[in-house]
């Protein structure tokens, strides 16, 4: 169940619209949605759910894939990078700092698994202080 503390204004979620043959569509959360989530959480969760993260969404968000099924982004991270290891049960982020001196080794921190686009958006914001531009229209409705 999605809680208010899981969301930020601008996060992407699925929203049940049930019209014109489309049941779910992508939406961006605004301040009214956050209030709705807090005041009537069960009702909010009946018509909202997370958009499952896919490798296509990672690539469309600026990540590059290597030969080991890992996705990396350097954008706005300066001497660090964010890498995702793809597993059957979700995406495992790894935050790494490059060595500053030749005698140092790369330092890596494993983070909790994420499964949804809004979790990716929140993680990127925490690490960079900037929004990640996720364009779900380019990805297509098959991701929803």
pLDDT of residue 133: 87
Number of CB atoms found within 10 A of residue 31's CB: 8
The answer to the question of residue 142 being in a domain is: no
- Note whether 63 and 78 are same-domain residues: yes
Task: For residue 70, give the H/E element and its range.
Answer: strand 70-73
Domain count, the chain: 2
Instruction: Say if residue 67 is in the same domain as residue 126.
Output: yes
Give yes or no: residues 67 and 114 share one domain. Answer: yes
Quote the longest CA-to-CA distance of the chain: 62
C-alpha distances (whole Å) from 23 to each of 16, 26, 71, 119 are 6, 11, 31, 23
Same domain, 120 and 60: yes
Compute CA distances 62 → 13, 41, 101, 131, whole Å. Answer: 20, 33, 28, 12
Does 85 fall in a domain? yes
* pLDDT value for 138: 56
Contact 50, 116 (CB under 8 A): yes
Q: Are residues 40 and 100 part of one domain? A: no
Q: Are residues 78 and 10 in the same domain?
A: no
Query: What is the per-residue pLDDT across 63-89, written as a single tens digit (0 to 9) for each?
Result: 999 888 889 887 667 788 899 999 999
Residues 43 and 79 in one domain: no
Q: What is the domain range of residue 108?
A: 55-136
Report the chain's mean pLDDT, rounded to a whole number: 88
- What is the share, in percent, of the chain residues with pLDDT greater than 70? 90
> Hey, how many other C-beta atoms are within 10 angstroms of the C-beta on 82?
23
- State which of 50, 73, 88 marks the end of a domain: 50
The answer to whether residues 83 and 72 touch, using CB atoms and an 8 Å cutoff, is yes
Residues 107 and 69 reside in one and the same domain: yes
Residues 67, 132, single domain; the answer is yes
Q: What band does 57 get if pLDDT is binned at 50, 70 and 90?
A: very high
């Amino acid at each position: 169940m999605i809680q208010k503390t899981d969301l930020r204004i601008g996060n992407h979620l699925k929203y049940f619209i049930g019209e014109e043959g489309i049941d779910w569509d992508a939406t961006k959360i605004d301040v009214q949605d956050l209030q709705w989530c807090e005041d009537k959480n069960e009702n909010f969760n009946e018509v909202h759910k997370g958009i499952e993260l896919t490798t296509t969404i990672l690539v469309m968000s600026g990540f590059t894939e290597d030969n080991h099924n890992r996705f990396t982004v350097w954008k706005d991270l300066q001497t660090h990078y964010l890498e995702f290891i793809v597993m059957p049960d979700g995406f495992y982020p790894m935050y790494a700092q490059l060595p500053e001196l030749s005698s140092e080794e790369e330092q890596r921190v494993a983070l909790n698994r994420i499964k949804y686009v809004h979790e990716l958006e929140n993680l990127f914001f925490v690490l960079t202080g900037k929004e990640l531009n996720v364009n779900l229209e380019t990805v297509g409705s098959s991701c929803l």
